[in-house]
Structure 1
């Protein structure tokens, strides 16, 4: 252990198993200094995502301690923090797992070039995706713009094998100073919600692996038939763990493949498709990074969206007070738990962008602030798919009717009752938690009357269709 140490720069890979960068660092023969940096890219996360990241860091720190090591926390520009830590420790190598959003790629590329120019070893490794975006190409060498051909291209590809967590993480003779996680106050922006969200979150790698085991033992077999019913425990619940890397997509992939071989059949196949849908979002983000900020289809750039986030109908949407029960239940689930069922996400996104003709960016930014499973690629692609400006062949007529969706996917009203308190004599705890989480300035109480619809569903649909037809005829 006389070699100069290696720094393991942790980001959205908060786990010990299936972690190529950690495995390489431990195999290098060097002492390993695990490091998490609170830089400007972390500082700008939404309130719920930043809080959830803090929970993951705390859990990982404990897991690292159990391996005989320590997680060092530092705040500041990543390049500056690394430079100072290298000087303090004499580190000769820096390893990290690759990220794919434009800001992270620009930051990491500049840091890698600088470190190499100074003679340091730099190791960058996969781990966030099943398939590196540049490795998946069409027959002509381009990138896929439609999901189904992408899925067919990757469904039978080899996925990296699983790697166990190291038995020990080799420690340096002395440890550099570290910030205290509590001093970072990563949950400060949640305000009152910080007392509510922990009731719905179990952070850490061990919790993620346990959720996967529960899903494989039961719900995966009926996943195809049951996954669209938001009141049923039919999904894996792994999205927030995936978002910050508490579990590797490889582990989920291999587990689902084994389940399919053991008879889970269509359920496992559909679940694998959903995992690859996430991959497709990253594929598009890498090849068309404007999907994060602008219409993926440029012909939508002049569509007359409402871009006023203070519009009273938009405010009603954010607060779960549209007067449309399925929409309101979903928006309250989001505010209370930091998550939202996928079927509900499609309905609320369609309602905002079509019934209210409001720009998808407003919805995307609200989700970015409220989601504990926030993911830059998935959030952007999901919103653009629903709005019609994203990767879709014929989007203009897809307008979800929230009432029809409720009758189909919440026929007994269990989902609405779980989250909308008004009108119930004894509302469940989740519905009441909403009023404990929202700002006092909203002046909401479970005894309030339920609001009338801010727009009629038939009226909103006709207005959206008319706007789309007019726009198509003029463009």
Structure 2
């Protein structure tokens, strides 16, 4: 079989869409048979409960989309390098293409796959599609990478971004399809236990739902986004983080929707474009400083006296939404009920853990990695390091959010806390009650329990303790990598 007629394997990863998918479009335009393949590999096996479960749902949906256009999705499990090498030999594939990733575990995996396949004469390689701008294409005037977002934003905001391409409605199929695993046998949602039933109705699953959500936001709510995005009690955001995480919508589609809104004079459009660029900035930093994922970005924070024991009572209370701080507790319960957490709430919850409770950001990062359906390695790491003070931020550590005054400012009528904290109401709403259906039974929590009378750490006392620790600690001169 010649290269011109041999199949192309589309290695499906976080690009679960038929619309504006550069890898899929290249494969289809080659005129060769296309074999879509998803591998439950070593990187995905390491994922936490919620993202692994949500990815499995996305894979099922993509399989249905492919079947609707006369194709199919092949499922295999094992080390990516071994599985793809064997599958290429089995199918006679002359090419294996995939959407590029930027986190260290994925890069290591992909380099191994590429080395093995190219060594056998197979065209193997990655293409862009997950971010707006490849991390190595954005440089300072001195030639280095950006360490602060504002100048990064100025460098990219006027760059040309290709318009999204339309959906593929047909793919050439191979003469014989290889065997496939059954996704039911993988049981990717096992670790979710009973929480899956609670979280499932809150999901935006599949590219059709993502596109509908983008249209509704860009044609309606985006004008008020600048202010509304900070109010957790209302639907003021796009709600597309989940869809972007799994590539059920392309970042280019979101960017151009924002540009169109800006051209109409929508006040919140530029703020939303900045948030999309912030996502790219997270990958920019992760690529250039891979230790962002697991270590303090500012190395001088290695000596800061954070608690690193997840078993202490204060951390347990934080995870279970029982700190006695209503904004924090509502946020942590929203996470268990919906699989997501409002961005303002994330900042408050993260600040309280790392500053008032003086606990390491890695504790929170790992918790989110297990519980967020929209978990993204770059955004999660950057968000936690920004909140803790150890990350790339021009503001000093002294920024300690007061969760009480923040609640008065952003949830004045207590819509948000009432929605998620059952103990505050005689007749709590559905989401507040659902929290107790989602949590592990071992927590032994009930909506009839009294809400904590006192916080585990008073906001004023916690702030003073954190600032004293900061002032009395001698940091090395280095301020960033």
Whole-Å separation in 1 of the counterparts to 2:397 and 2:313? 25
Q: Which residue of structure 1 aligns with residue 116 of structure 2? A: 114
Structure 1 residue 193: Cα displacement: 0.3
Q: Work out whether 1:351 is the aligned partner of 2:315.
A: no
Unaligned runs of 5+ residues in structure 2 are none
Q: CA RMSD in A?
A: 1.2
Whole-Å separation in 1 of the counterparts to 2:155 and 2:476? 37
- What do residues 26-62 of structure 1 show as CA deviations (whole Å, max 9, x unaligned)? 1112100000000111011110101110111111111
Q: Which residue of structure 2 aligns with residue 439 of structure 1? A: 440
Whole-Å separation in 2 of the counterparts to 1:332 and 1:225? 24
Q: Work out whether 1:364 is the aligned partner of 2:368.
A: no
Give the conservation status (yes or no) of the 8 Å contact 1:130–1:160: no
Give the conservation status (yes or no) of the 8 Å contact 2:85–2:116: no
SS at 1:95's partner residue? strand
Give the conservation status (yes or no) of the 8 Å contact 1:14–1:205: yes
Q: Which residue of structure 2 aligns with residue 225 of structure 1? A: 227
Give the conservation status (yes or no) of the 8 Å contact 2:301–2:475: no
SS at 2:291's partner residue? helix
When the two structures are superposed, what TM-score results if normalisation uses the length of structure 1?
Answer: 0.98
Give the conservation status (yes or no) of the 8 Å contact 2:22–2:129: yes
Whole-Å separation in 2 of the counterparts to 1:254 and 1:473? 44
Structure 1 residue 394: Cα displacement: 3.3
Whole-Å separation in 1 of the counterparts to 2:372 and 2:396? 25
SS at 1:471's partner residue? coil
SS at 2:167's partner residue? coil
Give the conservation status (yes or no) of the 8 Å contact 1:330–1:341: yes
For 1:6, which of 2, 8, 11 is the aligned residue?
Answer: 8
Q: Which residue of structure 2 aligns with residue 99 of structure 1? A: 101
Q: Which residue of structure 2 aligns with residue 392 of structure 1? A: 393
- What do residues 228-276 of structure 1 show as CA deviations (whole Å, max 9, x unaligned)? 0001111000001101111110000001100111121x30000000000
Whole-Å separation in 2 of the counterparts to 1:281 and 1:185? 31
In the TM superposition, 1:8-407 aligns within 5 A as 8-264=10-266, 266-407=267-408
Structure 1 residue 108: Cα displacement: 0.8
Whole-Å separation in 2 of the counterparts to 1:123 and 1:465? 49
SS at 2:422's partner residue? coil
- What do residues 376-409 of structure 1 show as CA deviations (whole Å, max 9, x unaligned)? 0100010000100001123221000000000000
Give the conservation status (yes or no) of the 8 Å contact 2:12–2:36: yes
Whole-Å separation in 1 of the counterparts to 2:225 and 2:359? 33
When the two structures are superposed, what TM-score results if normalisation uses the length of structure 2?
Answer: 0.97
Whole-Å separation in 1 of the counterparts to 2:72 and 2:169? 14
Whole-Å separation in 1 of the counterparts to 2:352 and 2:412? 20
SS at 1:140's partner residue? coil
Equivalenced residues, count: 474
Q: Which residue of structure 2 aligns with residue 418 of structure 1? A: 419
- What do residues 319-355 of structure 1 show as CA deviations (whole Å, max 9, x unaligned)? 0000111100000001111100000000000000000
SS at 1:7's partner residue? strand
Give the conservation status (yes or no) of the 8 Å contact 1:48–1:187: yes
SS at 2:472's partner residue? helix
Distance 1:394 1:260, change over 3 A: closer
Structure 1 residue 474: Cα displacement: 8.7
Whole-Å separation in 1 of the counterparts to 2:198 and 2:301? 39
Structure 1 residue 123: Cα displacement: 3.9
SS at 1:246's partner residue? coil
Flag as ranges the 4+ runs of structure 1 deviating above 3 A: 472-475
